[in-house]
Structure 1
Amino acid sequence: MTSTVERPASRTRTGRRQPPKSGPRRPPRALGRHMLLGSIALLWLVPLLWAVYTSLRSYEDTASNGYFSLPRSFGLDNFTDAWTQSGMPHFFWNSILITVPAVLCTLLFSAAVAFFVSRFDFRFNLALLMLFTAGNLLPAQVLITPLYRLYLLIPLPWWMSDSMLLYDSAWGIIAIHVAYQCGFCTFVLSNYMQTIPKEITEAAQVDGAPVWRQFFQIILPLCRPAFAALATLESIWIYNDFFWPRVLIDTGDKRPITSALANLQGAYFTNPNLIAAGALMTAIPTLLVYFALQRQFISGLTIGSSKG
């Protein structure tokens, strides 16, 4: 039977006992680092807090007293006015019709290419991966003129209706997002699939599983953290996109919610408080997506950060 030996308390020169010292204190360097990071986080939140503060004030209050003044009253009138005046329910639905198919198609196509690149060895393996990744190096502004002309001049088969045109339709926006985002998703998924042991697919081949079954029933379930991280990022990027709908959609009723915020801006008068309220309501779906996939999103981003 072992016995624990307690460390006796130290004595001072006068003979008095001192209590044992507590655990190590946090060094001043770590404390300063935490204060710096907290200040940076608060600095990033200043625009959001200012938008909330502005949206809760009336335009008459800010026009008479200025934006850098104490408010006389708070209210939700700007939110109700922005919801009704801009027709947000209709444009929210347009954003969903663009974002959901674009994210699903991007992840499916990227996963197929990443599976082919990471699990099969062939001559142009690295070149194919670099080709998909190189598409993200081009800025979107460079592609305005060729894509605009392509969307206008592309012929339609006799069995397709005018609603399936790429220009001035949701199909064109979905196609450009899928083509533009596949490179980044392929790069991330290929690196993630390389961490999966090849013995798993080799065992499936021994059992007689075809390639499509290895892809859908073995590899895709194992890539769930990476899919959650990419789905969060792609949903935010595609939903918040303002550039492509503004260029490729001519009809105002077909535009997503980000482009529809321009309806709150008048020809001779603009209410900044109303626009701030509309912008905050527009950001709610992206926050819901992030909080729903927060745990998988963090695990997908930190995968491979530690060894052993």
Structure 2
Amino acid sequence: MFPRPIQQAPRASRIAYQVALPVALLLWLLPLLGVAMTSVRPASDLAQGNYFGMPSYLAFENYADVFRNSPIAHYILNSFKVTIPTVIGCLVLSCMTGFALAIYKFRSNLLVFFLFVAGNFVPFQILMVPVRDLTLSLGLYNSTLGLALFHIAFQTGFCTLFMRNFIKALPFELIEAARVEGVSEVRIFWFIVLPLMRPAIAALSVLIFTFIWNDYFWATVLTTSAETQPVTAGLNSLNGQWVAAWHLVSAGSIIAALPPVVMFFAMQKHFIAGLTLGAVK
């Protein structure tokens, strides 16, 4: 029913696994390695067509040039303005909706839960025109607030699914015992359920932070100016009309990838615990 551990496989399979694993890892990391190499490649190498060979020298000043010659610091600040409120808003809403859908049994419980989940199956590309028109009519177009509100609305469905299933796995006897003692529902949620949800909150915060920080599609659809664009959309401005500064784009991409990486390693322990809790009895 379950695949056997590789240690129990035949010798030929183990050898093939040991050979295929580093090859697959190299293929997976090859684009990232290419971007990292281009980020320290001097512009003269790119002008001469040296895209894949060894650089003539390591131009680490490209990272300083990104900050000197472009508003990437402002783009990164815009990304934080969008990502942090989105993470907080999604966590607050999903904790409450997940608690209500997991604990309370009412007639339309499954219907409400289905409405939250159904939004995850809608291809987001078909929402481009109506969402853009909605932000224009509300005066939220080309603003970090409008982009954050859209992400909160769109990500809350997935977060509710995650939180509802997590709370459903918690021992219901704790809530029943608290109710017998006369504890109010608000205090049950705040003092009993919420502390038990910390692994799920940590895991979900890392996931949502990564999703929103790396979003490119909606960042280009709902923002147009350097004052409001996140870093993923702002990297396009590093290329001029006639000159492609790929060394600066690559350096900016490496810089833009650092916050999610730092976020993951800072929350790694809680992230793994939140994903694996309940996986085994």
TM over 0.5: yes
Q: Is 2:266 aligned against 1:292?
A: yes
Residue identity in the other structure for 2:201: F
Preserved CA contact (<8 Å) 1:103 1:235: yes
Partner of 1:16: none
Matches within 5 A, 1:203-222: 203-222=177-196
1:272 — aligned with what?
246
Q: Deviations over 1:120-148 (max 9, x none)?
A: 11111111111101011112211122122
Q: Equivalent residue for 1:62?
A: 46
- Quick one: structure 1 residues 252 and 70, their matched pair in 2 at CA, closer, same or farther if it must change by over 3 Å? closer
2:218 aligns with: 244
The Cα shift of 1:31 comes to 4.0
Match of 2:100 among 66, 91, 116: 116
Query: Amino acid of the residue matched to residue 64 of structure 1?
Result: Q
Distance change (3 Å), C-alpha of 1:183 and 1:252 = same
* SS state at 1:250 partner: coil
The one-letter amino acid of 2:117's match is: T
Q: Report what 1:258 is aligned to.
A: 232
Q: How far 1:34 sits from its partner (Å)? A: 3.9
State the match for 2:55 in structure 1: 71
> Rg: which structure is higher?
1
Match of 1:198 among 156, 172, 180: 172
What is the letter of the counterpart of residue 206 of structure 1? Answer: V
Give the drift of 1:49.
Answer: 0.9
**In 2, Cα distance between equivalents of 1:272 and 1:73:** 16
Q: 1:133 to 1:26 in 2, by over 3 A?
A: closer
SS at match of 1:252: coil
| Distance across 1 between alignment mates of 2:26 and 2:269 | 23
C-alpha contact (below 8 Å) 1:91/1:257 kept by paired residues: yes
What SS does the aligned partner of 2:76 have? helix
Following the alignment from structure 1 to structure 2, what is the Cα–Cα distance between the partners of residues 69 and 152?
47
For structure 1, which segment, 246-255 or 99-108, has the greater mean C-alpha deviation from structure 2 after superposition? 246-255
Q: Provide the residue aligned with 1:166 in structure 2.
A: 140
Structure with the higher fraction of residues in helix conformation: 2
Deviations 1:82-134 (A, max 9, x none): 12212122221111111101001101101111100111111111111111010
Q: Distance in 1 between matches of 2:228 and 2:217?
A: 14
Provide the residue aligned with 1:137 in structure 2.
Answer: 121
- Provide the rounded CA distance (Å) in 1 between the counterparts of 2:56 and 2:30: 21
1:48-87 C-alpha deviation (Å, 9 max, x unpaired): 1111111111021233252232322112121111122121
User: What is the CA deviation profile of residues 16-68 of structure 1, one whole-angstrom value per residue up to 9, with x for unaligned ones?
Assistant: xxxxxxxx998522343243233222211111111111111102123325223
Is residue 102–residue 167 contact of structure 2 (8 Å, CA) maintained in 1? Answer: yes
The yes-or-no answer on 1:235 pairing with 2:209 is yes
CA distance in 1: counterparts of 2:54 and 2:145, whole angstroms: 48
Query: Residue 80 in 1 paired to residue 54 in 2?
Result: no
Aligned-pair identity in percent equals 38
1:196 counterpart SS class = coil
Aligned 1:35-54 pairs, distance under 5 A: 35-54=19-38
Query: Residue 133 of structure 2 corresponds to which residue in structure 1?
Result: 149
Runs of 4+ residues deviating >4 angstroms: 24-27
Distance in 1, matches of 2:22 and 2:81, equals: 38
The question of whether the paired residues in 2 share the 8 Å contact of 1:151 and 1:167 is answered with: yes
Decide whether aligned partners of structure 1 residues 181 and 205 sit closer, same or farther in structure 2, where only a CA change above 3 A counts. same
TM-score by structure 2 length? 0.92
The letter for the 1-side match of 2:80 is: I
Supply the distance in 1 between the matched residues of 2:43 and 2:160 (Cα, whole angstroms).
47
What residue number does 1:17 align with? none
Once the 2 structures are TM-superposed, how far is the Cα of residue 178 of structure 1 from its aligned partner? 0.7
- Contact kept, 8 Å, 1:55 with 1:276, in 2: the verdict is yes
Alpha-carbon contact 1:86-1:261 (below 8 Å) kept: no
